[in-house]
Amino acid sequence: MDVPLRFATADDLDGIWDVFRLGFGGKEADRAEWNDGLEADRALVSIGDQGEVAAASHIRRFDQWFGGRLVPLAGFSPVAVLPQYRGRGLGKAVTAGQYPDLRERGEVISGLFPASVELYRSVGFELAGSYVQRRIPAALFSTLRAGEPVSIRRGTVDDVAAVHRCYERLASRTDGAVTRTPGWWARRLRPDLADTNLFVVDHPSEPGEVYGYAIYRHGKAAPPYDYSVVVAEVQASDADALRALWRVVGSSGSQAPHVEVIGPADDILFLLLGGADPVAVRSEIRWMVRLIDAPGAVAARGWNPTASGRVHLAVRDEHAPWNDGRWILELEAGEGRLRPGGDGTVELGIGALSCWWSGYASAQALAMAGHLRCADPTALATLTGLGASSPPTLVDFY
Ligand SMILES: CC(C)(COP(=O)(O)OP(=O)(O)OC[C@H]1O[C@@H](n2cnc3c(N)ncnc32)[C@H](O)[C@@H]1OP(=O)(O)O)[C@@H](O)C(=O)NCCC(=O)NCCS
């Protein structure tokens, strides 16, 4: 279906708000905050029969760490269609319609948290990572012991900027972590620390810097308990500090028997905790990624510096035709390159390539799921060996 689309202007903001309000159940009181977070020229709209905004997609720009390098990311946030226009292809149209602009801006990958995997898979997105909300018994944290003594103090508003800097230093080691603006940070750590509990470990050699931090707030609990501990984030520069901070987070178990944590399916927290598996998963979703500019994305991320090889690909991409065709993928010394040519040994859609690029699934797993075809076992093994070895982690829901 050919849907006329255009980028929004400030005059469309009320119409866009209406689409998002009906899509996500927003209240009138939220309007100003929503509108403040929108950039009109990053919203693509479709106009309905009555001249109203019938559908809209909006992009939030981030940078996302992959292989120790920052990759420009266009985050779809959000996408919605007025109820009376749903089921006619508008959701797909306002999503795919953004791709040429993203490419021009150098946003070589895009991502989103899907309400419908099918919708976004049909326009080239594929799974990239998990986002799991768990309720872990506080008692499990009491088993944590740091090897070396770690001094933890209560954080104050004067530590907030140092916490931001600590995150920026540590994020590069986590594939999938995104850079945060001050506005984005405020959702996780309010600058005035209202209703927020901050604990920090001072940096041993850099005055004014923190070495690790734990942020949590008190949430609801079922009677007779008073509250639950809702973790916003725990980060530390070494394992002793990490263990000590998690122990503090779990230390309120006499009143707060549960610690609520958001993390990936294979959270490294499970490499620390000593308990068996009494983990309650409250919700589990998966975020998705799509390569907007395949050669740009291959060149932008860092790769395993010890893996090198070459594989011929035949990529299908109906919605970003500049990616469609035969490519030779070459990785060497941590650098990646995709150049036109080759004999198309591995046949895959842009979604499968995006998924492999992210590290979420190996080429072998994608072949098993029917997302990739390859008659040459050596080429399949090479592509499997070149990919990242574990899925990326993203805890910033956008
Ligand atoms: C999700 C939403 C954007 C879809 O818009 P739409 O215009 O109806 O979507 P399309 O017509 O382009 O549908 C394309 C595909 O998406 C999938 N899809 C659409 N609505 C779906 C739903 N409610 N549940 C599951 N899959 C859905 C289907 O696979 C569909 O393909 P099909 O028509 O061949 O079956 C719309 O229902 C909406 O605004 N919902 C509320 C807000 C929301 O959830 N936004 C998405 C946030 S990520």
In degrees, to the nearest 5, what angle opens at C-alpha 376 toward C-alphas 370 and 377?
Answer: 80
Q: Is the CB of 3 under 6 A from ligand 1?
A: no
For position 224, what pLDDT does the model report?
86
Of the candidates 76, 128, 118, 117, the residue with the CA atom closest to the CA atom of residue 98? 76
Strands 346-349 and 309-316: parallel
Tokens 């009109």, located at residue = 40
CA distance 345 to 374: 6
Please give the pLDDT value at position 277: 61
CATH code of domain 294-386: 3.30.1050.10
Is pTM beyond 0.75 here?
Answer: yes
Higher-scoring residue by pLDDT: 68, 145: 68
Whether 216 has a pLDDT exceeding 90, the answer reads yes
What are the extents of the domains in the chain?
6-107, 132-285, 294-386
Q: Which of 92, 113, 116 to mutate to test the pocket of ligand 1 (most atoms within 8 A of CB)?
A: 116
As to burial, measured by CB atoms within 10 angstroms (0-12 exposed, 13-18 middle, 19+ buried), residue 147 is exposed
Q: pLDDT grade, residue 1 (50/70/90)?
A: low
Nearest CA to ligand 1 atom 35: 87
Closest CA to 229 of 243, 213, 242, 216: 216
Q: Among 3.40.630.30, 3.30.70.100, 3.40.50.720, 3.20.20.70, name the CATH number for the domain at 132-285.
A: 3.40.630.30
Q: Answer yes or no: same fold for 6-107 and 294-386.
A: no
Domain range 6-107, its CATH number among 3.30.1330.60, 3.40.50.300, 3.40.630.30, 2.40.240.10: 3.40.630.30
Residue nearest to atom 25 of ligand 1 (CA): 116
> How many angstroms separate the alpha carbon of residue 116 from the centre of ligand 1?
6
Reported as a single tens digit per residue, the pLDDT across 40-81 is 999 999 999 999 999 999 999 999 999 999 999 999 999 999
Q: Residue 96 Cα, ligand 1 centroid: separation in angstroms? A: 13
Q: What is the whole-number distance in angstroms between the Cα of residue 309 and the centre of ligand 1?
A: 40
Q: What is the pLDDT of residue 4?
A: 92
Per-residue pLDDT, averaged over 173-194, amounts to 94
CA of 336 to the centre of ligand 1 (A): 35
